[in-house]
Amino acid sequence: MSHTIIPSVSASALDPEMVQVAATIDRYGLHLVHVGEGCDCGGCTEAPLPPDQCFGYTVGLTDHGHPELLVRGLGALETAGLLNRWGGVVLSGELLDAGHLLCEGRGAPTWELVPVRCPSETLRWAERYYRGVGAGGVEALELIPARRPCPCDGCC
């Protein structure tokens, strides 16, 4: 029988927001962050950003050796749907790389994956979470509208 020794950590040392992120990742495989439509923290006075400045990203794909995913310019619900769909593909074991096209079917958008420069500056919650669990730096891929046609037969 093996035993895992967990170092004791005082309750005050735990970051309650990151504990919540960890619980969401544990339950669903990833946590979503959307920036720009306001804040759910008490007493926040930040005004919503213009729609073209809003963005969202995943936290949790790094645990699977995969870059986090990011999308810009969409509302919170559309962002959540998109990141849950493609994050779920990653969680099911598929590896998505820069240059990969993500086809959503006939008449739907096709996304291209491009590397995010300086992801630790943009994906702040992911960076904060992984710094707390002792992982290395965060990498990310951004979904942008495809600049080339999708080669699949199902959407063209």
Q: What is the pLDDT of residue 46?
A: 64
Q: Which residues touch 106 (CB under 8 Å, ≥6 apart)?
A: 154, 155, 156
pLDDT digit string (tens) for 111-120?
Answer: 999 999 989 8
Name the more confident of 149 and 45: 149
Q: What is the pLDDT of residue 136?
A: 62
